């Protein structure tokens, strides 16, 4: 999973394919667990997946009203459809991503 800048996130968010942006802080224990789950997700999904340290994206945190980390933003065609804060399990994340992608198929 690559570190994305704000510009890279905006590019992928506006794409026609679903994109995932994982936000974390390095000293967060819960984020460390979520990071391991996101590494698995990155290997299992065909979507664009990026990550960023929220400490360097203060404006993005305010714009998207990020309440806490870890946070997963799921977006497609310029719209964030879901923010996930509770990374319950890899199967939960996969099912959530799949259900959003299936709903957006036209």
Domain boundary assignment for the chain: 2-103
Residue 106 has pLDDT above 80, yes or no: no
Which pLDDT value is given to residue 15? 87
Cα torsion through 93, 43, 66, 53, rounded to 10: 150
Which pLDDT value is given to residue 104? 76
The DSSP code for 2 is E
Q: What is the pLDDT of residues 30-51, one digit of tens each?
A: 999 999 999 999 999 999 999 9
Residue 105 has pLDDT above 80, yes or no: no
- State the chain's mean pLDDT as an integer: 94
Give percent above pLDDT 70 in the chain: 98
CATH tag, 2-103: 3.40.30.10
């Amino acid at each position: 999973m690559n570190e994305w800048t704000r510009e890279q996130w905006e590019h992928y968010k506006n794409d026609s394919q679903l994109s995932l942006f994982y936000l974390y802080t390095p000293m967060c224990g819960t984020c460390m667990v979520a990071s391991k789950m996101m590494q698995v997700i990155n290997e299992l999904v065909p979507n664009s997946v990026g990550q960023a340290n929220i400490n360097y994206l203060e404006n993005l945190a305010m714009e998207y009203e990020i309440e806490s980390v870890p946070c997963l933003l799921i977006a497609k065609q310029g719209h964030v459809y879901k923010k996930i804060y509770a990374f319950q399990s890899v199967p939960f994340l996969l099912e959530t991503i799949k259900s959003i992608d299936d709903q957006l198929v036209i």
